[in-house]
């Protein structure tokens, strides 16, 4: 399959003399990356192996390299999905409690749940993926009578402000 082809292609480049640092193999998840590393080590049998990582690992590496030139920059840290859910839950609850976001009454009971935070995270990631900005999301919420979309647009703005203050980057 594809993994075998990648391993053979990487091994062929190494045998041709391509420096190990010039080769990267990308996998969909950590388990696949581990499997690629194992297969590549078996194929090569000796010598240094190229980096085998996930797409997220590559993104983290790129962001980390960008911050190296700034002596005042702290190294980047990726949040796990669970950590991000807790962060979103706490930010959302605080913003609603402070009256910054007019949260729909029928969804108030869900505010303390991680499930809602997970749904909010997924929804906002999808909105960003589709290239919809917060003004467009709020307008769609008003037009389609979806008050939760309008509230989520306000929350996205609030979250962006907090992230800017904390010097955080959301790469989704």
Q: What is the pLDDT of residues 31-68, one digit of tens each?
A: 898 999 899 988 888 788 888 998 888 877 777 776 66
End-to-end CA distance of the chain: 29
At 120 the pLDDT is 95
- Residue with more model confidence, 89 or 78: 89
Q: How confident is the model at residue 168 (pLDDT cuts 50, 70, 90)?
A: low
Instruction: Name, in order, each residue with C-beta under 8 angstroms of 63's C-beta and a sequence gap of 6 or more.
Output: 76, 169, 171
At 170 the pLDDT is 63
Beta strands in 49-161, from DSSP E residues, in sequence order: 51-54
Q: Inter-axis angle of helices 134-143 and 147-166, to 10 degrees?
A: 160
At 29 the pLDDT is 86
């Amino acid at each position: 399959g594809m993994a075998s082809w990648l391993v053979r292609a990487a091994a062929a480049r190494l045998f041709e003399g391509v420096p190990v640092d010039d080769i990267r193999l990308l996998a969909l998840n950590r388990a696949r990356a581990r499997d690629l590393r194992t297969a590549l080590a078996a194929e090569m049998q000796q010598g240094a192996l190229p980096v085998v990582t996930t797409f997220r690992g590559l993104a983290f590496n790129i962001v980390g390299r960008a911050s190296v030139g700034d002596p005042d920059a702290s190294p980047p840290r990726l949040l796990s999905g669970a950590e991000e859910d807790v962060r979103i839950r706490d930010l959302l609850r605080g913003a609603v409690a402070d009256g910054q976001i007019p949260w729909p009454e029928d969804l108030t009971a869900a505010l303390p749940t991680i499930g809602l935070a997970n749904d909010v995270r997924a929804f906002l990631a999808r909105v960003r993926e589709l290239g919809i900005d917060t003004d467009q999301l709020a307008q769609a919420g008003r037009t389609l009578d979806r008050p939760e979309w309008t509230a989520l647009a306000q929350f996205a703005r609030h979250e962006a402000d907090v992230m800017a203050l904390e010097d955080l980057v959301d790469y989704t």
